[in-house]
Structure 1
Amino acid sequence: MHAHIAEAVKKPDLISLAPDLACLRFETMKVYSALGAVRHLLESGTVRPGDTLVDSSSGIYAQALALACHRYGMKCHIVGSTTVDRSTRVQLEILGATLEQVAPSRDLRLDQETRVRRVAEILAAHPSYHWMRQYHDDIHYHGYREVADELDAELPAGPLTLVGGVGSGASTGALATYLRAAGRDVSLVGVQPFGSVTFGSEHVADPDMIIAGIGSAIAFGNVRHELYDRVHWVNFDSAVSGAVALLRTSGIFAGLSAGAAHLAARWERLRDTSRTAVFIAADTGHRYVDSAYARHRQAADIDTLKPHEITSLDALRHPWSTTSWPPAGR
């Protein structure tokens, strides 16, 4: 029996899509990150029960931190993007977390900078608050050790290709780190949207990009670039096609980052048939129904899609590009 809903909801499902292809499907992945971080802060004495934890979020982390604070008797304040949907807003309110959303912006960089600037203002006014720094503090790696142990135990012996959205770097980076420490041969493949500075695609815009959680318009301190072996940049339309195909063929209803990771994992599986490919579905598809899934009739057949193999970031182009990391031409 679980002591708290957060302990139950964090558990992922490992689903076989083919003998050498699996999906690690979460209801909300960052609960692992938030629970592990808050627990570590309490055990180290950095914070105490009743303290207020603050951070910015585009949606998933907000719910995760609110649940972690509820679990450990903390207060929670979120500076949210406009992408925080009504369902999440209502849950945060009932859980006792406070949310303030920044002004709407079509510019991801402006949105992220505005949120971080607002957090700084809050900390200046309330010095006792603790900033979780989900984008910069590697304390968020801790929670994923348990997931890595479960993957190591459940997956067939042999080399793995792990594919997932990069975002803050904590999920993919931590899983690869712990699996490698356990002796696994792991090729780590990061998925990015165009326009993200993390792996140098800021010069290629994607106006329809709404998967902000896997990219960054500002530098993230948590991303350890040396951990990654390959990177895929996937645009909005291709991510929608990947997500629709995933639902149609497997019944897995997941977010756009999962659609992008699905495409990348299928491609990496073709590149190296000696490895088992596992891709991460970080959240469910509910908040993407109107913006993405409603377009399912226009989704491309993913068997017709393939990436541009590039050797220089100058060659990045829509709808999908990939390269070894770092690129040979860098």
Structure 2
Amino acid sequence: MHPHIAEAVKKPDLISLEPDLACLRFETMKIYSALGAVRHLLETGAVRPGDTLIDSSSGIYAQALALACHRYGMKCHIVGSTTVDRSTRVQLEILGATLEQVAPSKNLRLDQELRVRRIAEILAANPSYHWMRQYHDAIHYYGYREVAESIDADIPTGPLALVGGVGSGASTGALATYLREAGRDVTLVGVQPFGSVTFGSEHVADPDMIIAGIGSAIEFQNVRHDLYDRVHWVNFDSAVSGAVALLRTSGIFAGLSAGAAYLSALWERRGDGSRTYVFIAADTGHRYVESAYSRHEQALDIATLKPHEITSLDQLRHPWSTTAWPATA
């Protein structure tokens, strides 16, 4: 029996699509990150029950941190993007978290900068608050050890390829780290949107991209670039096509980052069939229904899609590019 709903919701399902292809499907992946970080802060005495934890979020981490605070008796304050949907807002209110959303912005960079700037203002006025720094603090790696152990136990012995959104680096980076520490041969493939500074695609815009959680317009300090072996940049239309194909072929209803990871895993698998490929579906598809899934009739046949293989970042182009990391320039 679980002591709290957060402990139940966090657990992923490992779903076999082919003998050498599996989807690690979460309801909301960042609960692992939030629970592990809050637990570590309490154990080390950095915070105490009843303290207020604050952070910035575009939606998924906000819900995860609110549940972690509810689990451990903490207060929660979120500076949110305008993309935080009504369902999440209502849940935060009922859970006792406070949410303030920044003014609408024309681009992701301005939105993230406004949120970080607002956090600085709040901390100046409330020095007792603890900033969780999900984009910068390595404590967000800790919660994923349990996931890595379950992958190691469930996937047969042999080489692995882990494919998923980079985001803050605390998911794919942490999983690869713990799996490698356990002795597994792991190739790590990071998925990025165009326009993200994390792996140098800020010069290639994608105005339609709404999966900001897998990339960033500001520097994320807890991304360890040296952990990644390959990187894929996938645009909005290709991510939608991947997500629709994933739902159609497997029944897995997941977010756009899962669609991008699915495409990337299939491509990597064509080039190297010696590994078992595990791609990550970090959240469900519910918040993408209107913006993405409603366009399913326009989705492209993914069999016709293939990435541009590049050797330098100045060759990046739509709709999909990939390279061994680090790229040469």
Secondary structure of residue in 2 paired with 1:303: helix
Structure 1 distance, partners of 2:146, 2:77, is: 27
Q: Match of 1:7?
A: 7
TM-aligned CA deviation for residue 106 of structure 1: 2.8
In 2: Cα distance, 1:271 partner to 1:77 partner: 46
Separation (CA, whole Å) in 1 of partners of 2:213 and 2:106: 15
1:1-330, aligned counterparts within 5 Å?
1-327=1-327, 329-330=328-329
CA distance in 2, matches of 1:325, 1:205: 21
- The residue type paired with residue 319 of structure 1 is P
Provide the C-alpha distance between the structure 2 equivalents of 1:232 and 1:33, rounded to a whole number of angstroms: 23
What one-letter code is carried by the residue in structure 2 that aligns with 1:10?
Answer: K
| One-letter amino acid matched to 1:75 | K
Structure 1 unaligned regions, length at least 5 = none
What SS does the aligned partner of 1:77 have? Answer: strand
User: 1:25 Cα deviation (Å)?
Assistant: 0.2
* C-alpha distance in structure 1 between counterparts of 2:270 and 2:157, whole Å: 19
- Matched residues in 2 for 1:268 and 1:38: separation? 36
- SS at the partner of 2:171? helix
Rounded to whole Å, the distance in 2 between the matches of 1:82 and 1:100 is 10
CA–CA distance in structure 1, aligned partners of residues 75 and 87 of structure 2: 20
How many residues in Structure 1 have an aligned counterpart in Structure 2?
329
Whole-angstrom distance in 1 between the partners of 2:137 and 2:44: 15
Distance in structure 1 (CA, Å) of the matches to 2:25 and 2:52? 30
Q: Hey, what's the Cα distance between the residues in 2 that align with 1:133 and 1:170?
A: 11
* AA in 2 matched with 1:110: L
For residues 261 and 198 of structure 1, what CA distance do their matches in structure 2 show?
17
RMSD: 0.4
SS of 2:221's equivalent in the other structure is coil
Deviations, residues 220-276 of structure 1 (Å, cap 9, x unaligned): 001000000000000000000000000000000000000000000000111100000
Secondary structure of the residue aligned to 1:231 is strand
TM-score by length of 2: 1.00
The secondary structure found in structure 2 opposite 1:280 is: strand
What is the rounded CA distance, in whole Å, between the counterparts of 2:251 and 2:105 in structure 1?
33
Distance 1:224 1:35 in 2: 21
Amino acid at match of 2:176: A
- CA displacement at 1:105 relative to structure 2: 1.3
TM-score (norm. length: structure 1): 0.99
Q: What is the SS of the residue equivalent to 2:254?
A: coil
| 1:157-199 Cα deviation digits (max 9, x unpaired) | 1000000000100000000000000000000000000000000
Equivalent-residue separation in structure 2 for 1:79 and 1:214 (angstroms):
19
Secondary structure (helix, strand or coil) at the match of 1:170 reads: coil
- Residue 280 of structure 2 aligns with an amino acid whose one-letter code is I
In structure 1, distance between residues paired with 2:253 and 2:85: 17
Post-superposition shift, 1:156?
1.2
What percentage of aligned pairs have identical amino acids? 87
- Report SS of the residue matched to 2:139: helix
Three-state SS of the structure 2 residue aligned to 1:110 is: helix
User: Can you list the C-alpha shifts for 1:200-237, whole angstroms capped at 9, x where unaligned?
Assistant: 00000001011010010000001000000000000000
